Structure 1
Amino acid sequence: MEGGRLSVHFDLLGRDVAPNVRLTGILGDDDIAAEAGLGLGFDGTPFGILGGIGNYYNFGGTLGFDGTVGGYIGTHSYGEFYDKPDAPAPLLPPPT
């Protein structure tokens, strides 16, 4: 899997963390991939991002350009909930 992700993050725990927007690149396979990029808080603070993303979870850390360090874990609905492959389509009989 390779690509990019644009996301907006909000602090739902009331820790006075400014909402932020993140743009990251993703590289890996379908089960787990590395994620790296940059973010900008709504208060104007820039930061770098390094983490991992899986089927229904993500985790990683942030490093602010001012030296602040943070971490995150989360869940998401990327992909299908049922990951098993579908049965092959039945073969049609030959035309007569």
Structure 2
Amino acid sequence: MSAITRDEVAHLARLSRLALGEDELDHLAAQLDQIISAVARVQEVAAEDIPPTSHALPLTNVYRADQNRPGLTPDQALDAAPAAEQQRFRVPRILDEEA
């Protein structure tokens, strides 16, 4: 496999609108070459008779089924509130009038 050149990295940087220094071009060229080599090795190992999977083990849903249940009425919800006003929780003001 051919190595990634500085010119190719510079071209990719221009396309990505990245400003890279001269030393960064050399450094990234070596890294990109290693990445492409690693991907090529993985592609060699992949067998056509193995189906693609997202997990090594089969997954099952562990959640319970949804069931409709009655909720609290406004009066029940406000029963334990320290203060209520017009069927709402009354809380201390935290912002000044200017906000």
TM-score (norm 2): 0.20
Structure holding more helix per residue: 2
Structure holding more strand per residue: 1
Which has the higher Rg, Structure 1 or Structure 2? 2
